[in-house]
Amino acid sequence: MIKNLLSLNDLTKDELISLLDFAENFIDADGKFKKDNLFPDKTIANIFFEPSTRTKCSFDIAGKNLGCSVVDFNSENSSVSKGESIYQTVDALSLMGVDLCVLRHPNSVISELAEYLPEMVFINAGEGSTAHPTQTLIDLMTIRQLKGSIDNLKITIVGDLDHSRVVKSFVEGVSNFSIESLTFSGHPSMCSNYMDPVIGSYEPNLDIAVTDADVVMALRIQHERFETDMSLDLDEYKHLYQLTTERISMAKGDAIIMHPGPVNMDIEISETAYQSENSVIRNQVANGVAMRMAVLARFLSQ
Amino acid sequence: MIKNLLSLNDLTKDELISLLDFAENFIDADGKFKKDNLFPDKTIANIFFEPSTRTKCSFDIAGKNLGCSVVDFNSENSSVSKGESIYQTVDALSLMGVDLCVLRHPNSVISELAEYLPEMVFINAGEGSTAHPTQTLIDLMTIRQLKGSIDNLKITIVGDLDHSRVVKSFVEGVSNFSIESLTFSGHPSMCSNYMDPVIGSYEPNLDIAVTDADVVMALRIQHERFETDMSLDLDEYKHLYQLTTERISMAKGDAIIMHPGPVNMDIEISETAYQSENSVIRNQVANGVAMRMAVLARFLSQ
Amino acid sequence: MIKNLLSLNDLTKDELISLLDFAENFIDADGKFKKDNLFPDKTIANIFFEPSTRTKCSFDIAGKNLGCSVVDFNSENSSVSKGESIYQTVDALSLMGVDLCVLRHPNSVISELAEYLPEMVFINAGEGSTAHPTQTLIDLMTIRQLKGSIDNLKITIVGDLDHSRVVKSFVEGVSNFSIESLTFSGHPSMCSNYMDPVIGSYEPNLDIAVTDADVVMALRIQHERFETDMSLDLDEYKHLYQLTTERISMAKGDAIIMHPGPVNMDIEISETAYQSENSVIRNQVANGVAMRMAVLARFLSQ
C-alpha cells in the first residue's frame, strides 16, 4: 500500500475503487458531511504555493471534520520569503509533529520532496501541469454517482489540455476502466500534447466530439492568454469551443457536464449550460469534501 | 423569523431586544466569555474583502467559543484573484458544508448574494456605506448596560457621517426606541446626507450638539482626506469637532462616550477623553464578542 | 513569579531549569508531542509583525496541542494597515478574551506594551535585535539533552552577532551556568558589539575559536548584505567563517553543531556539516514545540 498520494498511477484499481466507496461513507442520509472526532491526535498542514479557494478550503474543512488540527501555511508570510528551501520548511513541519502535508506547488517538486522526507506523508493537491489526483478521484466519484459506473462511457474533454494537470490525472485514473471512448477536443494551440494521445483520440470539431457523449468535461482556460496571444480571438474561441445548451443537446439526453472549477463563466461554458440539469459541477464541489475526508483518513491510518 | 442578518430593518423590536438579552448570557459572573461546545457540528466562514482586525477577530473568537469550526477565507490568496465571482466562491463554500458566512465587502452585494444563495445563512459584518448591523447591536447593548434603557436618551453622533455604515445601522436600530433626541454633528462636507435627516436633526456646532447629551458617539474619519481635500484643515477640524474633556463636560455628568473603533487617537477624540471615566469604547469591544456569539448562535439555530 | 516572558533576565535560574524540565514532559516515549486538551478555556493570539515559518507554526502547533483556541493575527490584512496602534490592537484582543499574546516585532516594543497592558500575558517570540527568549530555552534544552548538563562546556558562537537577538538571549540564559568558555567569532564587521564582551571573549580566527569546543552555534547571516556591502566578499566569507566538516573536526569529537534556523545552506554551514552526526539543528526544531508547550502552559497557569 502506498504511503503518499502523488499520482493516480501509484494506486491499484482496487485501491482507487476503495477510495470511491470510502468517500461515500462520509456523506450522511441528509447529504451532510459527517463531523466525527476521528483523528484528534493528528496534525495536518495545508501548504499552498499557488492561490486557491476550493481545494484549500476543501482540505481545511475535510481535516476539521475529521477532528485533526489543521495548520495553515501561508507561503507569503513565511520564511520561504527569506529564501528557506521548501525542503527545510517541510522538514521543519515534520519535526514539529505535522503528520501529513497537503501540498500545492507550481512546479513538479513533490515526488522529489517525498523521496528526501520519507517520514512525512504527502498529498498532492495540484502540482505544476503534472498531476491533481484528488480532483480526478472527485470526478470519478461524481461520474459513478450519476452514471452508476465508470465503464462503457463515452467521455469528451475540452479546453486548455496542454496546461491542465486535471486532464493528466484524469487519463491516469480512467485508464483503470473499460470506457467506450475518450475524446479530446479544443483549440489546436491548446492541445498539442493530445493530437496523438496514448489512449483516446483528438477531434478538433467540438460538435462532433460531444455527439452521443455520456460525460463532457470542460477545463479551465487561462483567459489572459487572449490578451497576449495574437493568434487567439476570444469570440472565435467561444464560438468554436464553448459548451452551450445547443452543443449539450448533441450529447446523450442524460449526459453530464463537468468542470473542475473555478469556471470562467460564459467562456468555457455558457451560464445557461452551467445552470442546466445536465450540469453536475456543483456536485463535484460537494464531493470534494467527502473525497478529501476519505483521502486524509486513508493516508493518516498507516 | 428572518434567516439572514443583513440589516437591522429586518429585525422586529422584539427580536432585537431578545438578541440584546441573549448576548448577556454569554458573559459569566467574572466578565469572561462562556466557552461551551454548543455547535460542534457547525462550520462558519469569515469572508472579509476589506482589512479588519476587530470585527474579524471578534467573529473568529465568537465562533470558536461556540465550538464551531471557523474557516478563514483570505480574499488575497484565493481564486477570487483568478477572477472567480463572489457568487461562485460562496456557493462553493455552501456546497462544502459551510453553514453560515460572515461577510464584509466594500460594496452593497450581500442582499443580492443572499437572494441567489437561499441555502446559505449570511451575517453582514460591514457592507459598503450601507450597513453594519452587529456594530449597532453592540452599541445598543452597551448603552443599555450603562444607562439601563435605550429609551428617553439624548444621543449625539459626530464624525464622517456620509461614509459611515455605522450611523446608517444605528439610525435603523435606535428607531425602535423612544429616544428623547438624536443629534447629528460634524463638518458640513461630511454630513451632507444628514442635514435634513428622517429622524433627529443636524447641529453644526458640536458644543451645542453635546450639551446635556446622555450618549456621544464619535465615528471614525478617514484622516487621509486631510491630505487630499484642500478645503479641510486638520487643526481646524480638531478644534471644531474633536471630542475633548472640555466638550464632554458640557454633556450630562454621567454621559457615555462611544466609538466603533479603531480610533484615530487625538483626531476624533483626545487621548484624555478616550481614557476618561465617561468613555465606554473598551466596553464596546468586549461586548462585541458576546453579541457575535449571540448572533451566531441565533442564526445557526434555525 | 513573573507574568510575561520578555527576556531571560527576568527568570531565576530555578525558573529556567524548571522550564527545561517541564518541556521534557510534553514528549512521549515515542518522541511524539502529547496532545491533551489541557486548556480548552484559553485563547491565545499569534501576532507576528515579521515573516516567520518555524516560530509561528511552532507556537500554533504548541497551542493547539494544549487544546487552546489559537487566533492568527495577520498584520497585513488588519486594521494596523489603517493606522491603528499596536497598543489598541492588543488591548482590543485582550477585551475580546485573548488570554496570552505571542508577539514578534522588528522593534523593541514589547516591554512597553506589557507595561501599558498589565492584564495581558506576553510571550516574546523575537523582538528587534533585543531578545528571543524561547529560542534560547530551546537551545539550552537541546544542549542539556545531548551533553547531560550545561555546565563545564566550551561554547563557540559564529555569525552576524551584531544583528542577532538569538545571541543576546543566549548570553543571558547561559550566564546562569558555569560554562568553561564562551567564544564569539565571525567577520569583524558583524561582531563590533562582541569585541570586548561582558562574558566570554572574541576570537576572529574561527579555526582557533572552534578548537576543542563542545558546542558550536552558527547564526543566520543576512546574505543580502553581500550584494550591497562592498567590503564583504561571499567567497572570502565562506572560506573564513563557514562551518565545514574540516572545522568541526577541530572541535571535540562529540561536539554538537547548532543553528536557530532557517539555515542559508552552504553559507553559514556546509550541507555536509548540516547533515553530519554532530549536527543537532533538527533536534532544535523538534524541541521548539515541546518548549513552547511548556512556556504556554506555564504562563497560562497563573
Chain-chain contact of A95 with C282 (C-beta, under 8 angstroms): yes
Please give the Cα distance from B56 to B102 (Å, whole number).
9
C87 touches chain B (CB under 8 A): no
**SS3 at position A147:** helix
Among A66-80, A126-140, B86-100, C142-156, which is the least confidently predicted range? A66-80
> Is B186:B202 a contact under the CB 8 Å cutoff?
no
**Residue among A38, A53, A68, A104 with most chain B CBs within 10 A, to mutate:** A53
Please report the pLDDT score of residue A48 as a whole number: 92
User: Residue B23: in which H helix or E strand, if any?
Assistant: helix B13-24
List, for residues B100-112, the tens digit of each pLDDT value.
999 999 999 999 9
C240: left (phi over 0), alpha (psi -120 to 50) or beta: alpha
Q: Which residues contact B2 (CB under 8 A, 6 or more apart)?
A: B10, B11, B15
Give yes or no for residue C264 having a pLDDT over 60.
Answer: yes
Please report the pLDDT score of residue C17 as a whole number: 98
Share of chain B above pLDDT 90, in %: 87
> Is C270:C243 a contact under the CB 8 Å cutoff?
yes
CATH code of C8-132+285-300, in short, is 3.40.50.1370
- Across residues C231-252, what is the average pLDDT? 94
Chain-chain contact of C262 with A82 (C-beta, under 8 angstroms): yes
User: Which chain B residues contact residue A281 at CB under 8 A?
Assistant: none
- C255 backbone dihedrals φ, ψ, rounded to 5°: -60, 150
Please report the pLDDT score of residue C73 as a whole number: 84
> Is A35:A266 a contact under the CB 8 Å cutoff?
no
Please report the pLDDT score of residue B154 as a whole number: 98
The shortest CB-CB distance from A89 to any of C53, C223, C265 is to: C53
Return the C-alpha cell found at B48.
472579509
Distance from CA of C251 to the nearest CA of B (A): 47
Give yes or no for residue C229 having a pLDDT over 90.
Answer: no
User: Which chain B residues contact residue C92 at CB under 8 A?
Assistant: 53-54, 57, 261-262, 285
C51 touches chain B (CB under 8 A): no
Which is more confidently placed, A261 or A76? A261
List, for residues C61-76, the tens digit of each pLDDT value.
999 999 999 998 876 5
CATH code of B8-131+285-300, in short, is 3.40.50.1370
Chain-chain contact of C282 with A93 (C-beta, under 8 angstroms): no
Please report the pLDDT score of residue C81 as a whole number: 46
Please give the Cα distance from B190 to C152 (Å, whole number).
71
- Work out the burial of residue A119: count CB atoms within 10 Å of its CB; fewer than 13 is exposed, 13-18 middle, 19 or more buried: exposed
Distance from CA of B84 to the nearest CA of A (A): 6
B58 touches chain C (CB under 8 A): yes
Residues linked to residue C100 through DSSP beta bridges, in sequence order: C44, C121
Helix spans in chain C (H): 13-24, 54-65, 86-95, 110-116, 133-147, 165-174, 206-210, 225-228, 234-241, 245-250, 271-275, 281-300
Distance from CA of C184 to the nearest CA of B (A): 43
Please report the pLDDT score of residue B226 as a whole number: 75
A226 touches chain B (CB under 8 A): no
Rounded to 5°, the CA angle B175-B206-B125 comes to 45
Distance from CA of A172 to the nearest CA of B (A): 26
Rounded to 5°, the CA angle C297-C301-C302 comes to 140
List, for residues B199-237, the tens digit of each pLDDT value.
999 999 999 999 999 999 999 987 777 777 777 888 999
User: Residue A37: in which H helix or E strand, if any?
Assistant: none
CATH 3.40.50.1370 residue ranges of chain B are 8-131+285-300, 133-282
Rounded to 5°, the CA angle B37-B39-B44 comes to 120
Please report the pLDDT score of residue B81 as a whole number: 46
B288 touches chain C (CB under 8 A): yes
C57 touches chain A (CB under 8 A): yes
Please report the pLDDT score of residue C57 as a whole number: 95
Place of cell 481535516: A63
Return the C-alpha cell found at B99.
453553514
Nearest residue to A256 via CA among A202, A219, A199, A210: A210
Please give the Cα distance from C105 to C119 (Å, whole number).
20
Average pLDDT, chain B: 93
Nearest residue to C9 via CA among C182, C213, C170: C170
Please report the pLDDT score of residue A81 as a whole number: 46
C60 touches chain A (CB under 8 A): yes
List, for residues B125-159, the tens digit of each pLDDT value.
999 999 999 999 999 999 999 999 999 999 999 99
The pLDDT-based confidence of A132 (bands split at 50, 70, 90) is very high
Order of strands across the sheet with C69-74? C69-74, C43-48, C100-105, C121-127
> Is A137:A173 a contact under the CB 8 Å cutoff?
yes
Percent composition of chain C: helix, strand, coil (DSSP 3-state, to 5): 45, 15, 40
Residues linked to residue B131 through DSSP beta bridges, in sequence order: B127
Longest dimension (CA), chain A: 56
Neighbour subunits, A (≥3 Cβ pairs < 8 A): B, C
Rounded to 5°, the CA angle B156-B158-B164 comes to 115
Give yes or no for residue C225 having a pLDDT over 90.
Answer: no
Chain-chain contact of B286 with C96 (C-beta, under 8 angstroms): yes
Q: From C34, which residue of chain A is nearest by alpha-carbon distance?
A: A41
Cis status, amide bond into A106, omega within 30 of 0: no
Place of cell 469604547: B281
CATH 3.40.50.1370 residue ranges of chain C are 8-132+285-300, 133-280
> Is C52:A79 a contact under the CB 8 Å cutoff?
yes
CATH 3.40.50.1370 residue ranges of chain A are 8-131+285-300, 133-280
Q: From A64, which residue of chain B is nearest by alpha-carbon distance?
A: B69
List, for residues B258-295, the tens digit of each pLDDT value.
999 999 999 999 999 999 999 999 999 999 999 999 99
pTM: 0.93
Instruction: List C-alpha distances in Å: A141 to A23, A124, A182.
Output: 8, 18, 18
> Is A71:C57 a contact under the CB 8 Å cutoff?
yes
Please give the CATH superfamily to which domain B133-282 belongs.
Aspartate/ornithine carbamoyltransferase (3.40.50.1370)
> Is B58:B289 a contact under the CB 8 Å cutoff?
yes
Rounded to 5°, the CA angle B34-B36-B38 comes to 130
Share of chain C above pLDDT 70, in %: 96
- A171 backbone dihedrals φ, ψ, rounded to 5°: -60, -40
- Across residues A194-214, what is the average pLDDT? 97
CATH topology of domain A133-280: Rossmann fold (3.40.50)
Distance from CA of A285 to the nearest CA of B (A): 6
Chain-chain contact of A33 with B97 (C-beta, under 8 angstroms): yes
DSSP B57: H
Tell me the one-letter amino acid at C75.
Answer: S
